[in-house]
């Protein structure tokens, strides 16, 4: 109980949370009643079972079903303001939120409605909840280079306020990182930061590729880095932060339990670890829960827990002055 109070009082930032995956249960149930064709349960207990994932691919199939119910500006804005309200309740002051424009465009959301929903929601998040949001636009890797090109074009054309980074998500198996190198190069030249997922469901070679081919400044997950001592040394030495999502990895069955999560070894090797939720209601977690769970599983001292929160502020793409306010 005292760990939770300590964690709640810490000013926190979140660096890895997907907008669609942040939809709370009531929102998903309401959407499911409006869109029965999506195949998402309309009943609370059934939705809980729907969120019991057999493996990573099953998780993605569920994620895509929920995503398909987002149809326009008001849906997008509601996701953003709902997320902001829940972040504020945990003393999360700033979040970098991943949005996958290409998938929403394929689902028929007009690009201008997506942008308006994000921008209006972001203004409301700040005004009503005091939470500052930034955007990461990411490529759905499973859709290949066409998705890379379209995501880049969409990101650079209307460049919404708060867009800070360019990412790559979806499955890693059979989806090489290197094919997306040209899009990351162009995004970085345009001033966006590089934050691909890597090493969530595949080995250390994918993380090396994210670093070398995509210029990754942080790595989404990076779970498998502990399998390669040279990589651990590289990440620690170059201070490349990992966006670790412990409960996500357990719930998608990439890691057996929190106790067995490689986060312990990452920390022991001096890697810059940040804690994140990925898709919080789908994994039955919150950012506060992640800190409490890791503190308990690893037996961390309060100063070490505060150090993890500080890592996330420092690893964020906030301007230096704003970081100082949160440290």
Helices 144-158/181-189 angle, 10° precision: 10
Residue with CB nearest Zn ion? Answer: 278
Q: Does 14 bind Zn ion (CB under 5 A)?
A: no
Q: Does 197 bind ligand ADE (CB under 6 A)?
A: yes
What mask, x for binding Zn ion by CB under 5 A, covers residues 230 to 269?
A: ----------------------------------------
Residue in 101, 121, 167, 169 binding ligand ADE, rule: CB under 6 A? 169
Q: Does 248 bind ligand ADE (CB under 6 A)?
A: yes
Residue with CB nearest ligand ADE? Answer: 169
Taking the C-alpha atoms of 155, 322, 73 and 41 in order, what is their torsion angle to the nearest 10 degrees? 100
What are the φ/ψ torsions at residue 276 (nearest 5 degrees)? -150, 170
Helices and strands (DSSP H and E) totals, the chain = 16, 9
**Distance in Å, CB of 61 to Zn ion, minimum:** 15
Please say which residue, 248 or 311, places its beta carbon nearer to ligand ADE: 248
Of 288-317, which residues contact ligand ADE (CB under 6 A)?
none
Cβ proximity of 23 and 66 under 8 Å? yes
Please say which residue, 129 or 221, places its beta carbon nearer to ligand ADE: 221
**Distance in Å, CB of 237 to Zn ion, minimum:** 25
Residue in 63, 94, 180, 183 binding ligand ADE, rule: CB under 6 A? 63
Catalytic annotation, pick one of 200, 243, 288, 290: 200
What span, in angstroms and rounded, lies between the C-alpha atoms of 233 and 50?
A: 39
Structure tokens at 128: 């009503």
Residues 6+ away with beta carbon under 8 Å from 61: none
What span, in angstroms and rounded, lies between the C-alpha atoms of 142 and 175?
A: 6
What span, in angstroms and rounded, lies between the C-alpha atoms of 275 and 227?
A: 20
Q: Looking at residue 192, what DSSP letter applies?
A: P
Q: Does 213 bind ligand ADE (CB under 6 A)?
A: no
Q: Does 281 bind ligand ADE (CB under 6 A)?
A: no
What span, in angstroms and rounded, lies between the C-alpha atoms of 144 and 182?
A: 13
Residue in 278, 288, 289, 290 binding Zn ion, rule: CB under 5 A? 278
- Residues facing 167 on adjacent strands: 138
**Distance in Å, CB of 200 to ligand ADE, minimum:** 5
Residue in 200, 243, 289, 290 binding ligand ADE, rule: CB under 6 A? 200
Cβ proximity of 168 and 214 under 8 Å? yes
Residue 281, Cβ density class (10 Å: 0-12 exposed, 13-18 middle, ≥19 buried): buried
Cβ proximity of 202 and 173 under 8 Å? yes
Of 11-30, which residues contact ligand ADE (CB under 6 A)?
18, 21
What span, in angstroms and rounded, lies between the C-alpha atoms of 22 and 322?
A: 25
Q: Does 278 bind ligand ADE (CB under 6 A)?
A: yes
Please say which residue, 199 or 204, places its beta carbon nearer to Zn ion: 199
Please say which residue, 25 or 123, places its beta carbon nearer to ligand ADE: 25
What span, in angstroms and rounded, lies between the C-alpha atoms of 302 and 300?
A: 7
200 is catalytic: yes
Q: Does 243 bind ligand ADE (CB under 6 A)?
A: no
- Residues that bind Zn ion (rule: CB under 5 A) add up to a total of 1
Residue in 82, 121, 170, 280 binding ligand ADE, rule: CB under 6 A? 170
The residues annotated with a catalytic role in the active site are 200
Residues of the shown chain interacting with ligand ADE in the complex, contacts defined by CB under 6 A: 18, 21, 63, 169-170, 197, 200, 248, 278-279
Residues of the shown chain interacting with Zn ion in the complex, contacts defined by CB under 5 A: 278
């Amino acid at each position: 109980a005292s760990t939770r109070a300590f964690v709640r009082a810490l000013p926190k930032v979140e660096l890895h949370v997907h907008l669609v995956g942040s939809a709370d249960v009531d929102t998903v149930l309401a959407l499911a009643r409006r869109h029965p064709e999506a195949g998402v349960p309309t009943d609370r207990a059934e939705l809980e079972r729907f969120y019991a994932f057999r493996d990573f691919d099953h998780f993605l199939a569920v994620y895509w079903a929920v995503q398909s119910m987002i149809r326009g500006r008001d849906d997008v804005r509601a996701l953003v303001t709902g997320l902001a309200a829940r972040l504020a309740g945990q003393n999360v002051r700033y979040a970098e939120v991943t949005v996958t424009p290409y998938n929403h465009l394929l689902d028929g959301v007009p690009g201008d409605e997506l942008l308006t929903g994000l921008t209006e929601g972001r203004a409301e998040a700040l005004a009503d909840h005091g939470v500052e949001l930034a955007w990461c636009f990411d490529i759905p890797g499973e859709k290949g280079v066409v998705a890379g090109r379209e995501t880049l074009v969409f990101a650079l054309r209307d460049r919404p306020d708060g867009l800070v980074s360019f990412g790559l998500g979806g499955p890693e198996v059979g989806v090489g990182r290197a094919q997306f190198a040209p899009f990351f190069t162009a995004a970085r030249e345009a001033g966006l930061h590089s934050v691909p997922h890597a090493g969530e469901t595949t080995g250390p070679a994918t993380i090396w590729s994210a670093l070398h081919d995509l210029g990754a400044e942080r790595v989404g997950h990076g779970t498998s880095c502990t399998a390669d001592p040279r990589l651990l040394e590289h990440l620690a030495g170059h201070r490349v932060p990992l966006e670790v999502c412990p409960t996500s990895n357990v719930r998608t069955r990439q890691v057996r339990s929190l106790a067995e999560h490689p986060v312990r070894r990452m920390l022991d090797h001096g890697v810059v670890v940040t804690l994140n939720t990925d898709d919080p209601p789908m994994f039955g977690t919150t950012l506060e829960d992640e800190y409490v769970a890791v503190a308990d599983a690893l037996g961390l001292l309060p100063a070490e827990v505060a150090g993890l929160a500080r890592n996330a502020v420092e690893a964020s793409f906030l301007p230096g002055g704003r970081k100082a306010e949160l440290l």
